[in-house]
Structures are given as C-alpha cells and as structure tokens.
Amino acid sequence: MKLWKKIYLFSLIIFLGTLSLSGVMLISKIHNDSLKEEVDKGLSNQEIISSQLYIDYKLSTNSVDSNDLKDNFKNNVYECMGHVDKKDGDVEILDKKGKYVYNSTHFKLPDSRNELKISSQNEKKFVIRTLNGKQYLFVSSLINLNGENLSLSYIKDISNVYKQQINYYTFFIYIEIFISIIFAVFMFFFVRIITKPINNLIDSTKKISQGEYSERVKINSKDEFGSLSNNFNLMADTIEDKINELEENNLEKQNFINNLTHELKTPLTSIIGYANLLRTSKYNEKVFYEASDYIYKEGKRMEQMAFKMMELISVKAENIDFKEEKIMDIISEAKKSLFYKLSNKSIELIVEGEDFTILADKDLIKIMICNFVDNSIKASKSGSKIFIKLYNFEKETKIEVIDSGIGIPKESLDKIGQPFYMVDKSRSRKNNGAGIGFSICRRIAEAHNAEIEIKSEINKGTKVSVIFERC
C-alpha cells in the first residue's frame, strides 16, 4: 500500500473513532444528566405527595370516630388523594399485606418489585423499569396513616428521556456521516498534496537510476521535504561529479593506454627493423654504426619513457612523506642535475627571490622543477636565459619558471596536461621526450595541494607558476 493511502486511511480511522467516541460520551453525559434530573424530580414529587396526603388525611379525620375511620379507611384515602396534586404521575398505595389501598395506574405492574421492600419510614427506594415499551420511574417510601404503615409509590413515565437519547444518536449519526464525507474529501486532496514531493523524489530517483544523472528534485518549501530535496540534490551533485570523474578517469586511462601503445610501437618497430638489418646484412661499418646508434637512441627513449611512467604512477598523496623543506636547497640540487643540459646550449639559469619553507616531498618537487626547466631548455635558443623566481606571500608561496623560447600555441595550452601530448612532436622525439613530463608535474602539484598556471606566447616565451598554500 502506498504511503499516501496509509496516511489517508489512518487519519480517517482516527478521526472517525475520535468523533464517534466523543459523540457517544457527550450524548451519554446529556442522557445521564437528564435522567438524574428526572429522578431528582421524582424523589421530590414523591415527598410532596406523601406530605400532602398525610396532612389532608389528618385534617379530614380529626372529627371522625376512630371506629368509623377503620371502616372507611380506603374511602378516606381515596377522598384525600382527590385533593393531592399527582405531579404528572401515578400513585399507588399498598398496605402491609400488599393489597391496594389506592391505585391510579392504568397498566399492569410486575409481581416482583424490589422497591417495595422498605424497612423504615426514612428509607426511600427508586427503580427504572420498562413496561409495554416505555420507561417508568418508581419511587417508594413508607407513610403512616391511622397507625398503619402504608407503601406509597410515585410512578412517572420518563420515556421522553430515552426517546431524546435515541433522537440525539440519530442526529449525531447524520452529522457524523456529513462531517466524515467532508473530512474524507478534504483529507484525500490534502494527503495527495503533502505526499506529492515524495512522488517527485521517487520519479527523480528512477531517472537517476536509469542514467539521467543531471536530474534534480524541484521542491520549493521550507519544511522537511524542502530539506530532504536539498540534501538529495546535494547527494545527486556529488554522485554526478564522482561519475563524471570516473568517466574522465576511464577516458584518460584509455587515452593513456592508446597513446602508450602508439608511442611504444614506433621505437619497437625501428629497433626490430634495424636489428633485423644487422642480422641479415653483410657487415658495413657505416650501416652498422647508423643502425646501432638508432637502436641505442630508441632504447634510451623507451628507457626514459619507462622511468617517466614509474614517476607518474608513483605520485600519490598517500605515499608521500611530507617534510618541511627549504626551496633554495631543492632548486640547487635541480640546477646541478641540469648542469650538462644547460651547458650544452650555453643557457644561464638565474634564481631570483627570497628563500622560504614548504611542506613537501623534496624529490618530487625536484622532479617537477627539473621538468619545467628541461622543457624551457628544449624551447630556448642557445645563449639565452631561464629564470626561476620565488615569491613568499602572506597566504601563499609561488615558484615561477620563465623562458624566452618558442612558446606554446593557445590551442595546446589546455592539452599539455594530457599524458603523451607533445606540442612539437619532432622536437620532443629528437630530445628523447615522451610527452609525459607535464602530466607528472600536474600529479605532483595535486599531491601537494598546489596549482599550476601556464602563460605563453608564440616566439616570446613561457611562464609556468606553481602556487602553494601557506602551511
């Protein structure tokens, strides 16, 4: 069963149960109050009738001989009762033997009547019984007339109290049906409206499960549903970002494998070809030297590619041992490593700026700086200058490698971070390049929570900036 149906039925049952119970309790209270009022009136009327009968009987028999009183006792009682107000009820008077002295009722009374079992004049009893489909109140007590205790009962029809109760119940049932219909219709639309956001959420989850990761829940409210939709959208954003990231990583890995296969195919083909030439041809010093030299260079390029690949794979933040290192010490070691390349092209490497400390892996930062400077050497003319500038700001530190070489085309700036991408393939192969250097630098920067910015103009040079957050 759907949630809105559960809420609807539960609310309807609770409402009907509460309304019915309240109505029954209210009607019962009214009925009991009315019945109590009738009983109180009956007790009061019985007392009045008893007093009036006693007074009238005394007054009417003061001048009569006692022997005549005994002989005409019933007649005297009847005569006195003729002057007594019956208070809209009937009266019966029984002697101690249970025989009628006076009776104004017009219906048959039951033989067994517990209210007549009275032991003293101060005692009163009443009972409500149903006779011929009507309810009657019987109030009984003892009265002493002419030295004899008589049982005087006041009998009143109180059927109207019970009829009134039935009328109340009938009226309440009609009212309850009317109110229930209105409530049922109102609750139907109300529950559908308040559960509509859940349906929207379900629809969105279905679409996301089917691959529509850009789907979002559109619920504009400040209640729990609004909070739920916001949290759901945040979750969907995170999932979409992760999926996009995974797709990009998979695409990057696929491109990486394709490029690696392509890069390995060329030197392997050449090595196999020249090796086969040496194996099948007669010895020729010139051919032997050229073939051996090419095999050596292609082998060195594959070796360099393997080293670069190892560096690229090993650069992960969880494997790095961060320590506080002075940047000048790292640059000095990088300068020594690049001494022969700088000397071969008579390029001067100039370091400017003040020393500062960074939290880093010394070897990885050295690899990054060497890669940037090596690229600048390849792009620069002989006799030119390459600058390494250091900046120590309040919230960040910066390393800049600046050259005045051939520069990088704008269309290539966004691609140089891709593994195996080379701006000038012929120059890169000539220098045993594999197009992996900048990818390694990018991985190193990411592992150190640093950013790399590149600005370049054709034939004017390139500036590479590495920005570290202040530790």
pLDDT, averaged across the chain: 80
Which sign, positive or negative, has the C-alpha torsion 20, 23, 29, 34? negative
- The half-sphere exposure of 189 on its side-chain side, counting CA atoms within 13 A, is 5
Assigned CATH for 212-314? 1.10.287.130
Identity of the amino acid at 8: Y
Report the relative pairing of strands 385-392 and 348-352 from DSSP bridges.
parallel
The pLDDT, as a whole number, for residue 149 is 86
The pLDDT, as a whole number, for residue 397 is 93
Tokens of 432: 């045993």
pLDDT in tens, 393-434: 988 999 999 999 888 877 666 655 554 444 444 444 444 443
pLDDT score of 258 more than 80: no
CATH architecture of 320-469: 2-Layer Sandwich (3.30)
* Highest mean predicted confidence (pLDDT) among 73-82, 280-289, 383-392: 383-392
Helices 73-81, 3-61: crossing angle, 10 deg rounding: 120
The pLDDT, as a whole number, for residue 430 is 44
d(CA 158, CA 146) in angstroms, rounded, equals 33
The secondary structure element, H or E, covering residue 360 is strand 357-360
Burial 264-274 (b: 16+ CB within 10 A, else e): eeebeebbeeb
The pLDDT, as a whole number, for residue 399 is 94
pLDDT score of 25 more than 90: yes
Could you give the C-alpha distances from 450 to 105, 211, 371, in angstroms and in order? Answer: 112, 34, 16
Q: How many residues can be counted in the chain?
A: 471
Cα Dmax for the chain: 181
pLDDT score of 314 more than 80: no
> What confidence tier does 229 reach under pLDDT thresholds 50, 70, 90?
confident
β-strand partners of 130: 135
pLDDT score of 208 more than 50: yes
> For the chain, what are the domain ranges?
3-165, 212-314, 320-469
Q: Which long-range contacts (CB under 8 A, 24 or more apart) does 234-242 make?
A: 236/204, 236/208, 239/208, 239/213, 240/213, 240/214
> What confidence tier does 312 reach under pLDDT thresholds 50, 70, 90?
low
d(CA 317, CA 448) in angstroms, rounded, equals 7
The pLDDT, as a whole number, for residue 382 is 92
The pLDDT, as a whole number, for residue 467 is 93
CATH architecture of 3-165: 2-Layer Sandwich (3.30)
Residue 391 has what DSSP assignment? Answer: E
Phi, psi of 107 (to 5 degrees): -140, 160
pLDDT score of 318 more than 70: no
pTM (predicted TM-score): 0.49
Q: To which residue do tokens 């940047």 refer?
A: 327
Contacts of 370 (CB under 8 A, 6+ apart): 334, 337, 338
